[in-house]
């Protein structure tokens, strides 16, 4: 049996009781931390809680040569990931490979940032549209700067449909974890390049360290929020559509938002 377990949001205690029991009963524990990462813990602390060694998988072990799944033919193997499990395509692909080999699979869910942002900000779940990711810009060999405009278009399209956008921020091996500030700067740059004035006056919410005891949640107009210090990763942005009154009130009370937004609903 190969069991996919979501570790939840922040530290080793965010796993479900069911997930922890499954690990304790497993023959072997694998973990991948490259699609997502728990910032509030270490492998040592996880091993201490589980009473078991944790084997860390590299990207190639998951995506190219996942030979280790064969052990699940006759042993109980668990595969741990941050957040909820099987949200990344690569996990789905792994599960299909396992099934093709005749391996039984199951899933133990964990908390995901996708629903956590609602609880932290007070924004209503059913008013979120398609989510998006802002990648780092890069420079071609000919010196041209490439900025993906897809996230900007998603945000704009959602806004025009009255919907909120959850904006994931790039994780890059070399450039590290994109901050809220950097993400907003990129959106601002696209706005300028297009000669638009869509971004500046919008309200945005930055959330850092969701799931921890001291998450940082701050709502403000983007022109102001861009200078706010959110501290340590992981960061995420929400760009809301037009706000309902109770949402505006929640942003003022839960996210220290500017009181003017109450008048704009």
Footprint of a copy of itself on this chain (CB under 8 A)? 4, 6, 8-9, 11-18, 20-21, 49, 83-87, 89, 91-93, 95-96, 99-100, 106-107, 109-112, 114-116, 118-120, 122, 124-133, 157, 161, 163, 210-211, 213, 246, 249-250, 253-254
Pairwise CA distance, residues 116 & 119, whole Å: 5
Identity of the residue, 164 or 202, whose beta carbon is nearer to a copy of itself in the bound complex? 164
Which candidate, 208, 215, 220, 202, places its Cα nearest to that of 259?
A: 220
Identity of the residue, 43 or 252, whose beta carbon is nearer to a copy of itself in the bound complex? 252
- Give the 3-state secondary structure of residue 52: coil
Asked if residues 35 and 90 have their Cβ atoms less than 8 Å apart, the reply is yes
CB atoms within 10 A of CB 244: 15
Cβ of residue 246: shortest distance to a copy of itself, in angstroms?
6
Bridge partners (DSSP) listed for residue 138 = 146
Cβ of residue 112: shortest distance to a copy of itself, in angstroms?
4
Pairwise CA distance, residues 98 & 7, whole Å: 21
Identity of the residue, 64 or 140, whose beta carbon is nearer to a copy of itself in the bound complex? 64
Cβ of residue 200: shortest distance to a copy of itself, in angstroms?
26
- Give the 3-state secondary structure of residue 37: coil
Cβ of residue 127: shortest distance to a copy of itself, in angstroms?
7
- Give the 3-state secondary structure of residue 108: strand
Identity of the residue, 56 or 96, whose beta carbon is nearer to a copy of itself in the bound complex? 96
Identity of the residue, 32 or 226, whose beta carbon is nearer to a copy of itself in the bound complex? 32
């Amino acid at each position: 049996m190969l069991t996919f377990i979501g570790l939840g949001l922040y530290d080793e205690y965010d796993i479900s009781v069911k997930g922890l029991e499954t690990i304790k009963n497993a023959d072997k524990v694998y973990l991948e931390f490259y699609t997502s990462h728990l910032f509030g813990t270490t492998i040592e602390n996880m091993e201490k809680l589980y009473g078991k060694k944790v084997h860390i998988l590299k990207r190639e072990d998951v995506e190219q040569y996942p030979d280790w799944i064969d052990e699940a033919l006759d042993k109980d193997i668990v595969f741990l990931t941050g957040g909820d499990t099987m949200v990344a395509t690569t996990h789905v692909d792994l599960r299909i490979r396992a099934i093709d080999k005749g391996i039984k699979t199951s899933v133990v869910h964990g908390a995901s940032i996708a629903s956590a942002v609602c609880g932290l900000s007070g924004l209503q779940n059913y008013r979120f549209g398609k989510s998006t990711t802002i990648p780092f810009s890069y420079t071609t060999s000919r010196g041209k700067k490439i900025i993906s405009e897809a996230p900007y278009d998603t945000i704009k399209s959602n806004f025009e449909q009255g919907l909120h956008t959850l904006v994931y921020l790039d994780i890059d091996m070399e450039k590290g974890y994109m901050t809220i500030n950097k993400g907003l700067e990129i959106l601002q740059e696209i706005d300028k390049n297009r000669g638009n004035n869509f971004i500046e006056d919008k309200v945005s919410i930055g959330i850092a360290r969701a799931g921890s005891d001291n998450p940082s949640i701050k709502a403000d107009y983007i022109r102001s929020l861009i200078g706010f210090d959110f501290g340590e990763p992981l960061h995420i942005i929400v760009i809301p559509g037009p706000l309902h009154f109770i949402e505006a009130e929640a942003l003022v009370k839960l996210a220290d938002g500017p009181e003017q937004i109450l008048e704009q609903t």
